[in-house]
């Protein structure tokens, strides 16, 4: 198996789109990747939730990943969102991601239909048989309707060589801690990553490996510094940055977080377009609050 360090701050890079037809803006994607790498992030995640992987075609995901791998040029690890609803499609997309040069696969749980823990276990085992690069499980039950229990994550970590990590976007700190606690003794460098930006430092303090941080699309240097300051033992400074980036949370009550993140990046002057319809609206009150947050953060020097 390809060995890749799974740690630090990984940006689930947004997918820039042209406003006239919602097609993918590859030149601006390349620009955003350069901005992230210059900010010091430790990985780029293609077609994640913030990248609108849920609404892209398989061909678009391939196009995105191909451009991402080409632009990154090995400077940081490239993560590919390859999870689909069916096991068959997930196998196909995971094999294609490996062929296109991804370093790590992020595989979200199947969605829409309720799956048992046995079905989830069997799903990941089958996909793992077809690839030879690390897999990071992705738990986001509020979006998929299916929760990966800590016991299932621990069993997969023990039983399947290429399953090397898990991203927890449940928003449940106890669940995140249980992932860390139950995978400590699996006999390999299994990585638990926070999927909620507000939990990054907590994850690190508990023994996790970092986070996949949507807000890095806005402030790559600030988000990356949470990890770097933690590693350097400067916990008070890391907490100060963690607190500073929390202000965006005020806007999420007005709309989909993916929509808020993308509109924020656009308001910062980058031609990334809106999220693909229908998930593209932010009410006027939300826009006003977002402007206020961006101004506050600019005055704080976040970048």
Q: Which of 121, 138, 219, 270 is catalytic?
A: 138
CB 27 within 8 A of CB 271: no
Q: Which of 61, 147, 155, 167 is catalytic?
A: 167
- Distance between CA atoms of residues 153 and 40, nearest Å: 30
186-221 core/surface letters (b: 16 or more CB in 10 A; e: else): beeebbbbbbbbbbbbbbbebebbbbbbbbbbbbbb
Query: 167 catalytic, yes or no?
Result: yes
DSSP code for 276: S
- Distance between CA atoms of residues 226 and 193, nearest Å: 13
- Distance between CA atoms of residues 69 and 130, nearest Å: 21
Query: 7 catalytic, yes or no?
Result: no
How many CA atoms are closer than 13 Å to the CA of 288, on its beta-carbon side?
A: 3
Instruction: Show which residues are catalytic.
Output: 138, 167
């Amino acid at each position: 198996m390809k060995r890749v360090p799974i740690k630090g701050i990984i940006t689930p890079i947004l997918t820039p789109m042209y406003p006239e037809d919602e097609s993918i803006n590859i030149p601006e994607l390349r620009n955003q990747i350069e901005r992230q790498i210059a900010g010091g992030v430790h990985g780029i995640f293609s077609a994640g939730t913030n990248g609108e992987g849920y609404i892209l075609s398989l061909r678009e995901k391939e196009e995105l990943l191909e451009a991402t791998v080409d632009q990154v040029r090995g400077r940081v690890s490239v993560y590919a969102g390859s999870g689909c609803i069916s096991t068959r499609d997930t196998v196909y997309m995971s094999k294609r991601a490996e062929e296109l040069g991804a370093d790590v696969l992020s595989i979200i749980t199947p969605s829409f239909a309720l799956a048992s823990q046995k079905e989830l276990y069997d799903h990941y085992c089958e996909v793992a048989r077809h690839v030879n690069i690390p897999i990071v499980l992705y738990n986001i039950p509020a979006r998929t309707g299916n929760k990966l229990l800590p016991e299932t994550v621990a069993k997969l970590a023990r039983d399947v060589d290429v399953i090397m990590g898990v991203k927890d976007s449940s928003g449940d700190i106890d669940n995140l801690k249980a992932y860390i606690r139950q995978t400590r003794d699996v006999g390999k460098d299994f990585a638990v990553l926070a999927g909620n930006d507000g939990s990054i430092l907590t994850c690190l303090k508990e023994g996790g490996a970092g986070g996949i941080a949507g807000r890095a699309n806005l402030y790559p240097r600030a988000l990356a510094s949470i990890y770097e300051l933690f590693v350097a033992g400067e916990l008070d400074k890391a907490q100060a940055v963690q607190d500073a980036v929390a202000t965006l949370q005020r806007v999420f009550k007005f709309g989909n977080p993916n929509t808020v993140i993308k509109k924020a990046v656009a308001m910062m002057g980058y031609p990334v377009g809106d999220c693909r319809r229908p998930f593209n609206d932010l009410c006027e009150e939300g826009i006003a609050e977002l402007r206020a947050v961006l101004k506050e953060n600019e005055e704080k020097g976040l970048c």
